Every structure is written in C-alpha cells, then in structure tokens.
Chain A
Amino acid sequence: MPKRDQSNIEGIESSAKSKAYWRNAEHEKGSDATKNWTEDEFPHRGSLLDIDRRDFVKLLGASTIMAGLVGCRSLPTERIVSYSKQPEGQVPGISQFYASCFTMGGYAYGILVESREGRPGKIEGSPIHPATLGSSNHWMQASLYDMYDPDRTKAVFKQNTPNSWDEFMHDVRKKLDRNPGESLRILTGTVTSPTLIRQITRLIELHPGVRWHQYEPFNDDNSMAGANQAFGVTCQPVYDFAKANVVVSFDSDFLFSGPAHVRHAQEFSAKRNLASTESSMSRHYAFYSNATPSSLSADHRWPMQPSKVGNVAFAILDVIKGNPASGEHAKEIAAIVADLQANRGKSIVVAGEQMPAEFHAAVFAINQALGNIGQTMRMVERITAGDESQRTSITSLATDMMTGKVKSLLILGTNVCLTAPNSTNFKEALKKVDWTAYLGTHMDDTMRSCSWQLPESHSLESWGDARAFDGTATLQQPLIRPLYDSRSSIEVVDLFLRNSRSGRELLQETYASSLGTNGEKAWDQWLHDGIVPGFESKTLAVTASGIVAESTSMAGDIEAVILPDPNVFDGRFSNNAWLQELPKPISQLAWDNAVHVSPATAKTLGVADEELVEVTVGGKSVRGPIFGIPGMADGTVVLHMGYGRTEGGTIASGTSASMPDVRNKMADVATLGFDVSPVWNGESLAGPAQITKIGGKYGLVSTQIHHLMMPGDEEKTPLIVRSGTLEEFHSNPSLVAEHEHKFPDDQTFYSFTDEEGEGQPYKWGMSIDLSLCIGCNACTIACQAENNIPTVGKEQMSRGRELHWIRVDRYSSGNQENPDDFVFQPVPCMHCENAPCEPVCPVAATTHSKEGLNQMVYNRCVGTRYCSNNCPYKVRRFNFLNFGDKVDKPSLILLNNPDVTVRGRGVMEKCTYCVQRINKARIDAKKEDRTIGGDEVVTACQAACPSKAIVFGNLADPKSQVSKQHKNSRNYMLLKELNTRPRTTYLGKVRNVNPVITPTKTEEHGSH
C-alpha cells in the first residue's frame, strides 16, 4: 500500500493559519498532560500494577487454563415459553408503541414508549405532544433505567422492618376514624396532576385538619412572584421561539431546563437552520453567569456575576423607556435595544428561573414594551396547584413540625431531607412528628427518617396524569404491572379517602365530565394520543406595568449560585448509572459535582482543577474540588445539588462494588461528589461566598480531553471545526478559511474502487449541523438506551474506557479564559468510505457493507484494537472488562434491546448507524414491495436530538433531507485531508453577530 504519511499532504501547514480550535487549556498549549493522555495506551496505569507478585502469577496461571476451557462447553438446551392465552393484538417480535407521560418538576412531557412483548423499552418523545414534539431529553431517555433499577424499594416497611399495604391501610383508617380532624399534612413536589389535585382537595373537604404543602428546591416561585408584580394577577409565560428573530436571555438556560425546554430547543433551532445563504437566522444575546448549553451557544455572550446580570436588565428597560444608555456595556445595550426595537413583536427577552422576582417583573415589562406579549409569548393561567410560594410553604411546615403542631405527615416522592433549605432543619423537625409516611422509589434520606416506608411505582408501571407547560393534560399510561409491591401517589391518597381503587378508575373519575356521551371511544382516543383535549391553559389578556422595583440581590467579590446538577438534577436521578456516567454538558464531568469557577477566578484564588477548597456562604461551608469552566463569569462560583449522597442506592452513595474509585477519595468522605445542603438556603442565588484552599485533591473525571482527534500542537492542527459569522457565511458560503488548502474531492492515496458502491439503491449517510447543536448530550444517552451500551464506572472512565458510541466534543477558540467561540461537535462513527480501521483488522471483523456502512462484527473480533488505533476520529470503543454483564443485577437485563447484540469482553464496538433500524425498514419495505424512503430510517440520536442537528438518511435519494444537507454549502468532512471520505459530515457553525457590536479583535472580546 502506498505510504499515507500526513506530512506529505500539502495544506496541513497552511490550514493552521485558519481559526484554531482547542478542547481545553492544556490541549491548546500542547502540554505534557495532554501528550501523556494521547500517547499512553493505558492512562492512569498505576492502579493496574497495584497487584502483588503472587496474585499476578496466580491470575496468569488461572487465565491460561481458563482461556483454554471456555471453548469446551456444551450449550444448554434453550426453552420456549409459550403463552397460555396470547394477548390480543400482540405479535411476538413486533414492538408496539404506547403514549404515556414523563413528569419532572410536576410538568408533563408526552412520550411514546416501546413495548417489547409487554416489557417497556426505548422511550421517544411523542410527536403530537406540545412539550416534546417528538424529541426528548436525557432525563426522559434515562427514566427507563430508573424503572429497572435494582436498588428500588420493593416492599412496604415500617421502621425498617417488613410490613404490608394492608397494615398501612388499617393504620390510616384507624387514624382517621379516631380523630377525623387530626392535623395531617401532605407534602408533595410541584403538582399539576388534575387527579391528585382533585383527590387532595376532596381530602381537605372531608378532614379540615389536612393541609397540603408543595416543595421542590428548584421551583418557579420567583417567576410567579415576578409575574404577579408585573401583571397584577397570577400567571405564567408560554414562549414561542419559532417567531422570535431576536432573543435576549438573562442567565436563562431556556434550551436545557424548564418544562418547555425540549420544545424551545426545536423552535429555536428552526429559526437558525441555514438551508442556503438566503436563509435568515435569529440572533441570541446572552448575559449570564453560568456556562450552560443556552449561554454558550449564544451569538453574543457577556459572562458576568449574577447581581450584574440583573443590572443589565434594568438598564435595558431604562433605554427602552427612552433614557440614554449609560454605565458598563452602554454601547452594547444601545445596540441590543436598537435590534430589539427593529424586531418589535418578534423578539423574546427571557430570564432564568433562579433570578429574583423584581427582575422577572422587569423582564416582563421589557417584553410588554417591545410588544412581544401576545406575539412571541403569552401569559396563561397558573398550571401548578396552590398559590403559596413553595419556600414559604416548606418553612411554615417545618416550623409547625418543630412546635409539635403536626401530628402526622405524608410525604409523596420528594426527598425533602436532602433538598429543604438548611434553615428549616427538616431532618430534626421530622423526628418531632408522631406519624410519618413516605412514598418513594428509593431508600433515600427522607425515607430512612420516616416510620412508614412505602415503595412508589415508576411512571411506566402506574396510571397518572400531569399537565404540560401550556396546560395540556397528559395521561400517564402504564406499560407493565408494577414489578414490585408498589403503588403510585394517587393510589396512596385514595387510601386516605377510604378507597382502594386502581389508578385507571381514579383517572376516569377525574375526566368523567370531559368524556361526554361516547365515553369509551373518547377515552381510547385519549389514551392513544396521551392527551386529554380541552385542558390547555387560557391565555390571559394582561398588560405588564412598566413600574418595577429595583432588585436587591447581594453583590460580592465572589457570588455563589446553587443549581440542580445538569444530569442527576436535585438528586432524584442519583442512582441512575446512565445519567451518572453521561458527561455533563459544558464541564464534561461524570460521576461527580465540583466547585465550578472561571479559569481566571481559579488563577486569582491560586487553585487548580481537582484541588480541594472550602466554599463559605452565609457562615456555612462545604468542601469540594475545583473545576474551571471557560466561558463562565469571573467572580462566580456554581455548585450543583444532588451529590454527596449517603442514602438512595448503591450508585447514589458511591458504594456500588462495580465502581470503586480507588485512586483518591475526598479526604475522609467516601461519597461521590459533595453535598451542597449545608449552604442551601432555598435560593439559587445564595449570595456572597468565600473560597479558601484547604489542600489535597479529589480525582475528577472529565471527558473533555478523552478521544482527542489531534495533537495539542497548533502548528499541525488539522481541520476540525469550520465556523464563521453570518456575514462571513454570505461572502464565503463554504466557510473555508482563507488559507485553508482546498482538497479536491477525488483525491486518492491508493487505488481503491468505489464501483461496488455505485448503483446501490441505498447509500446511508449522516449530517450534523454545528450551528444547531447545543451540546445537551441527549444523543449520547439515547444511543446508550438503544444500543445496549453498558456503563463502566468512574474508575474505568478515568482511563478513558467509557463506551458511549456518540460523544459531544466541546471546542473553543481564542482567549483561554473567556474564549470567543464555543462549538459543540457530536462525533459518532463516520462510516468512512475509505475506512482506515478496515485494512488493519487481522481477522476481517470490520468490513464495508455495500450500502456504505462500516460494519463491526462482534463475534469475529479478537480484540487486537488495531482498528481503534488507526481510527483518526477515535470513535471505536473497547469493552475491557465485560461491562455488559449484568448477571448480578437481573432486572437490568430487561433493559436490553433484543434487536442489538450484548457485547462481551475483549470486543471492539462502535456506532452502527442504528443498523437494526435500517434492517427493519429494509424488511418492511421489501414486504411492501417498495424502496425505503430517503428519510424513513431515523437513528436513535437523531430521534432524540431536541435541536434537530442530526439528520440521517439515504444519500442515493436526492430528495432526502440528508442529501440536501450534504449539498449545503457549509457541508464539510471532518479531517478531510486524510481522505477517509466519511459518510457523516458536518455543517459549519454560523454565528449571527450584530455588526455594530462585534469587536474586530479577539483580545477586546476576552476582556469582559
């Protein structure tokens, strides 16, 4: 084979003059750490050698014998278990999809759940549900794991001894009979469920002593109060980003959090899809403190302390009112206001939930002044139950408990001991209550402290309902009977109403009045759709008053912000291995939380990544490792809730045998991450903070430098990211940098023939639009759910052995401390037509299909790992330790997709373009005597992607969406100079910058 020396290729040198992109600071500098990581075959090998000589010899001998013996076994006779009576309509081997509901923070997301012979499988967004429009997020995907979680509570316990539902029911009845007016408190999370609201209202009618409290740590108290201030009535906003030409966000992660974020991401990206140079694109200005998918994907970013974000909003309101801009950022503010006013009624100004109420009122006033209310956003009736602020509610409950006013307390699924404000001292207060009952899925902090410990059914195994962000009533239809002796919250409340009806009956009772005359038929239709029509919240004709009180948020040298963890949220997903192992957006950390500061702040404090610090807020402190995030605001520290758990399952508490972190533990603490509850006072903006270095380190795992595609040597930086401003895109539609070498399309290094590929009806290909990707990682976890990808644990992950088939790389350019540009690049297997992995396989386990797929045949692979070594994109994953083996956790075996092989130890694996879906489509098409539609096959990552950045289809069909994308002028091949001819290509990133604002030099930009 002719030599394929990269240095021979003209153009590598010259491409270096284009905009340089890097993964992290070390990478950019080409430091030893990065070099070691990329050049060492076994990074962090130290622990591998922590084995003594005798054990080594023993293992060596044993493995030699065992290796010979594994071949000699006779396979057991398999059994076929037939039905006694086959369920009607079910065909073995054919999946059915049912509409159901995933609820988070009380709000509904409509989902479609695959039923494989009666077992819930893959979850997708429901295309007709307004909150998802067919897409999903990582929580929806991962909720399947929660269902099969082996650590779930499985039976009723009373004070840690086994008991029964019957006993519980007797106890409840005895209680209510003896003293019907007894003070019973019910504590829930945020509730929108019409059924639960109806039941609790009825209970309060029957027993005047009952009071209902709602509490979740991250709620909409502030925006509700803000709306109340602005409009004078209780209402909440619904945005339509598909109509917004200009978006200004104030510390708002509208694309990644909140009940409508999946829809927001779709609408936002629909406005930014540049099919050609004629297409228009919306513009997003972000003033923010925390680096999030929304803030870093903005066209203009101004990182600043949270207290200053508020000032900017007030300044903008001032300028809109006609006052001249002044103070910091005066020039930019004037330009933004001009842009907003040019797009009156076609813009959105949006504030983060954690911002103070006055500030939300100011933002509503801005929208009112711009004529946006009624156009791009509308105010609707409150969807959540009750009208009390959740912080007030939990505080009054805790006070009453402390003073002995509360005789009994029923908690429904909110782990309040972990999340209540520290001032309430909830755990202590709980001890003062005589009778406590907790319904939950895991033995968590709160369940441990309650007397009745009741197992809660997962949403996929129980009936329920909830309303979406716009009020749409969504039915939660179970796919399976409860795996354990568990009940749902509506069934438990029904016990208090002296009934014991099924969830289905309870739902039908709620909607009886809507059912009308042809009841059964309407009900079936609702179940089919997952939606009960007629519950959409009414739009209110309201006007925001322009008068707003100035905000009084506390400023400090360093301001602390406490937020839910992007993956495990407030701890409710702590025992979910999929979410723990998923790299968090931006930080790319897995399995831990950290003290996040900007690199400049870290430098000022004299601390480096992984060094332990003490963060003191309001006299209380927590300890944790530092992790710098470029793009974050200076003088801000972000802490994430949900870690440092001692209860809640083996994964949550870090005690699972499969993931010991033997390298280093945080001082004397053996948990994963650290608990922020000591400094949690119920407000995300926690106020001024001090950070002091305390010495010592805690090992963190961030995948930011895993699978580097290029040396950390700027001179040889090959083409990874193409980007430009909208103006540059108009003048240079391909976004090729001026000095970049133009590689001819037909360049070859050795003669390979493509003739076999010609004339094929199908040429599968993918296109990923970097302008649309927001780096949310929904694709990674959707792939994990579809393709039986096991988790490997923190220790193995620290060696770069994670098995995710699609990763999302984060690149930055310019100034290291506040880079000019962030690009998120999802990287699955490229399915190169001229794949470098194929010729190096000694056993032909990886070959090329006639339709252009780079096939990996697991049963043929002998694990030489040559292919992975030769893959320039680093997309091949090696199963080092039989990670897929779940014999010790049988319930997790049910998670597996029966259409995909469960790979064993010593086998290479990688993205297959969801070949099981292609094969299914091919067989269906053949049976119907037609060809597969160009867009018919949808990969798991594509289906999940909320911003529709990933497109898959048939390149041989010129009408397919992917063909059109490949013909887009922004289309480029990753590492094209290697002539691998990848089938997965990218569309260059375009930023719609305001020409009035853009500084010409990067230095100026970095000074903010």
Chain B
Amino acid sequence: MPQIFKSGANTTVKICLLALGFLPVAVFGGGSLISRSPANTNVEVPLNQPVPFSHKHHVMELGIDCRFCHVSVEDSKHASVPPSETCMTCHAQIWTNSPLLEPVRKSYAEGTPIIWNKLNKVPEFVYFDHSIHIDRGINCNTCHGPVQEMHITFKGKNLSMSWCLECHREPEKYIRDQAPGKNISPQEQVFQLYRNLQAHKEESLSDLDKDLVNGEALMTKKEDIEGGEKLLEKYKINKKQLMDCWVCHR
C-alpha cells in the first residue's frame, strides 16, 4: 500500500499551521489597510460634479481669492458653496455660450439649485467650525490639500478622528506666524500666502510655505515648534481644552 503522505507532507502541515497563525494578522491588517486606503476614504479620488469646475484655473491661473466664493468661511461654521449668482458675476460676461456652464445658467435663470456632490464630510456627530480655524491662521490646504493644483476637486485629507487629533494634541507643531515682523492678523496671513503663491510661484516661497501650500503643515524643526508654542500663548490657546470631547462632539 503506497504511502498516503509524501515526505513533504510534514513541511506542508507546518507551513499551513504557521500560515493559520498569520491569518488573523493578515485579515485584520489587510482590513485596516483597506479601510485606510483611498478605496474607502476617497482621499485623492477626483469626484465628478455637475459642472466641471477647476480650482486650479480659478485660483492659480486667475488668482481669485478663496473668499470670493466661500464667503462665510471667516464668519460661520460652513465655508459655504457659492450661489449660482456668484458664478454669473463673471460668466454673464465671459464663456457665455460654453456648454459646460449650461447648468449654472439654467440654475440662475430658473432659480433652481445646482446639486453638488459633497467631498469633505465629517460624521454628523462631529461639529467642525471653519471660522475659528481660519481665525487662528490654519491654512485651507492643511485640511483640503493642494487645492490650487486640483482640476477636478478631490478630498485632500482623510478627515479621520486620529488625523484631527494630530493637530489638536500638538497644535504648536502646526501653528505659525506666516508673516513674521509684519503686523497682520493670522486670518489675513492665510490668504496672504495664496496671494504670494499666485504672484511669485511656488519656487520663490520659503520651505515652510511650500509645505503649507502642498498641504503639509507639520513643522519638525525645533525653532519652528518653539515659535508655535509662543503663538499658543499669544492666542491664549488652551492645549488641554482642545482635547475635550465636547469641543467637537456634542
């Protein structure tokens, strides 16, 4: 009677047993990788909109201020999406026959809304307020990525809780005086950066500013962090309080 198990069987069993041990690791590890990947978070996945609006064209090539469209970003929790009327301030004069702008003209003429797809969304139990972040000099790109480079807009960061906490835990590493020596408010500094970028192109910016416009706000140099700590004191930012649950959840 021939042997049922060949000589390699022992090894196969050993490998299988070993693999069995790794299986949970692979399942959970793989699961967590998938959940963090753009497949789940949609980070850097462009999303088509009813109107193919290009931030790159309007911001970088034309130099329009963020606040021209997102009017309430300094005052309200919502940055707000512009009404069709805002688009028509220019597009009543230029590209008046463009088929791409048909939905805008229709909306303006008929008084019906344009329905956009939402990109940047936090869960309904999270209460984010744009105005206070801008007021403290947090740049738009810190959360939204390099918007000035986006033809079709995509989600710049994953907006997960751990990502929010990176800054809420150590705000000194993210907050900085972007115009040292000049007496301009942190809020104005945010928009000054984009004006500089538009006027002088990226190459002429400082390294930190370059990082900022690319959506990398984390500072690693000791002197930068010390500067951040001084700013925390100046702005009376209470680090401990920033970590309270009810700052964002309520």
Contacts and interface: CB of A to CB of B under 8 A. Distances in A.
Interface of A: 77-86, 91-94, 756, 760-761, 847, 849-851, 853, 855, 857-859, 899-902, 912, 915-916, 919, 923, 926-927
Contact of B127 (A849, A853, A919): A919
Interface in B207-250: 236, 238, 240-241, 243-247, 249-250
B85 A94 contact: no
A84 B84 contact: yes
Contacts of B83: 82-86
Interface in B68-87: 71-72, 75-78, 80-85
Interface string B46-77: 01000000000000000000000001100111
Interface stretch (B3-11, B14-22, B113-121, B162-170): B113-121
Nearest to A75: B121
Contact of A760 (B82, B117, B238, B250): B238
B108 interface: yes
Interface stretch (B94-102, B128-136, B140-148, B188-196): B128-136
A84 B111 contact: yes
B107 interface: yes
Nearest to B126: A859
Contacts of B136: 926
Contacts of A926: 132, 135-136, 236
Contact of A927 (B108, B131, B250): B131
Contact of A850 (B118, B236, B240): B240
B250 A916 contact: yes
19 contacts: A78-B121, A79-B118, A80-B115, A82-B82, A84-B107, A84-B112, A85-B108, A92-B80, A94-B75, A94-B76, A761-B236, A850-B243, A851-B241, A859-B123, A912-B246, A916-B250, A919-B127, A919-B246, A923-B129
A178 B135 CA distance: 70
Is the contact region of chain A dominated by helix, strand, or loop, or is it mixed?
Answer: loop
Given A84-B113, A92-B72, A853 B246 contact: yes
A850 B244 contact: yes
B161 to A, nearest CB: 9
Contact of A82 (B113, B127, B236, B247): B113
A847 B249 CA distance: 12
Contacts of A915: 246, 250
Which of B110, B117, B241 is most buried by chain A, counting CB atoms within 10 A of its CB? B241
B249 A850 contact: no
Nearest to B76: A93
Given A850-B240, A923-B129, A912 B250 contact: yes
Given A82-B83, A92-B80, 7 more contacts: A78-B118, A79-B115, A81-B116, A82-B84, A85-B84, A858-B125, A901-B249
B80 A855 contact: no
Q: How large is the interface on B (under 10, 10 to 19, 20 to 34, 35 or more residues)?
A: 35 or more
B137 to A, nearest CB: 12
A818 B114 CA distance: 67
Nearest to A926: B132
B113 A83 contact: yes
Contacts of B108: 84-85
B203 interface: no
Nearest to B237: A926
B202 to A, nearest CB: 30
B48 to A, nearest CB: 11
A79 B114 CA distance: 10
B72 A900 contact: no
The 4 A-B residue pairs with the shortest CB-CB distance, nearest first, are A93-B76, A83-B83, A93-B78, A849-B244
A999 B243 CA distance: 58
Contact of A756 (B82, B112, B240): B240
A901 B245 contact: no
A927 B73 CA distance: 13
Given A92-B72, A923-B132, A79 B117 contact: yes
B42 to A, nearest CB: 9
A760 B241 contact: yes
Interface string B155-183: 00000000000000000000000000000
Nearest to A74: B40
Contacts of A93: 72, 76-78, 80
A850 B241 contact: yes
Contacts of B117: 77-80
B111 A77 contact: no
A859 B245 CA distance: 11
Given A91-B72, A92-B72, A927 B240 contact: no
A855 B246 contact: yes
A464 to B, nearest CB: 28
Given A83-B83, A92-B76, A94-B75, A919 B247 contact: yes
Nearest to A930: B236
B159 to A, nearest CB: 13
Nearest to B75: A91
B244 to A, nearest CB: 4
B113 A81 contact: yes
A858 B85 contact: no
Contact of B72 (A84, A94, A849, A899): A94
A362 B61 CA distance: 86
Contacts of A923: 129, 131-132
A855 B245 contact: yes
B125 A901 contact: yes
B67 to A, nearest CB: 13
A80 B116 contact: yes
A858 B246 CA distance: 10
Contacts of B113: 81-84
B115 A859 contact: no
Which of A93, A859, A902, A926 is most buried by chain B, counting CB atoms within 10 A of its CB? A93
A859 B249 contact: yes
